[in-house]
Amino acid sequence: MKIEIDVKGLDVVVAAFNNLANVLSATRLPTEIDSVKEEVPSEKQHEKENTKPKAIQNVTTLEKVRAKLAALSQDGKQAQVKALITEFGAKKLSDIPAGKYAELLKKAEEL
């Protein structure tokens, strides 16, 4: 029994693998882990970090909004959740811009 397979274009794939092998063999791979220099932040850097506004920590994420809307839906308020998403000009939650999450979460908590 003789089986023959004729694959057209295989020479292009072989050439690509050969090129990849050549590039990888020419690349210097690290043989040792270079020492990492650890910088100790100065007191001024600590002061700058501590004076940053705390508003950044109060960011409303998609996960928070999704969790709240899911809880409302499970409580039988699917229609209100859908209307709320539509009110923001979207067909689904992921269509709502991230900048509107806080406002959406606030309105969802009022339901």
The predicted pLDDT at position 49 comes to 58
The predicted pLDDT at position 76 comes to 92
The answer to the question of residue 89 being in a domain is yes
The answer to the question of residue 72 being in a domain is yes
The answer to the question of residue 98 being in a domain is yes
pLDDT, tens digit, 9 for 90 and up, residues 41-91: 666 665 655 555 554 455 678 888 889 989 998 999 999 999 999 999 999
Question: DSSP string spanning 12-80?
Answer: HHHHHHHHHHHHHHHS---SSPPPPPPPPPPHHHHHHHHTS-GGGGGPPPHHHHHHHHHHHHHTT-HHH
The predicted pLDDT at position 29 comes to 56
The answer to the question of residue 52 being in a domain is no
The answer to the question of residue 65 being in a domain is yes
pLDDT, tens digit, 9 for 90 and up, residues 11-27: 777 777 777 777 776 66
The answer to the question of residue 66 being in a domain is yes
The answer to the question of residue 24 being in a domain is no
Structural domain harbouring 82: 59-109
**Cα(64)–Cα(87) distance, rounded to whole angstroms?**
19
Domain total for the chain? 1
pTM: 0.47
pLDDT value at 100 more than 60: yes
The answer to the question of residue 15 being in a domain is no
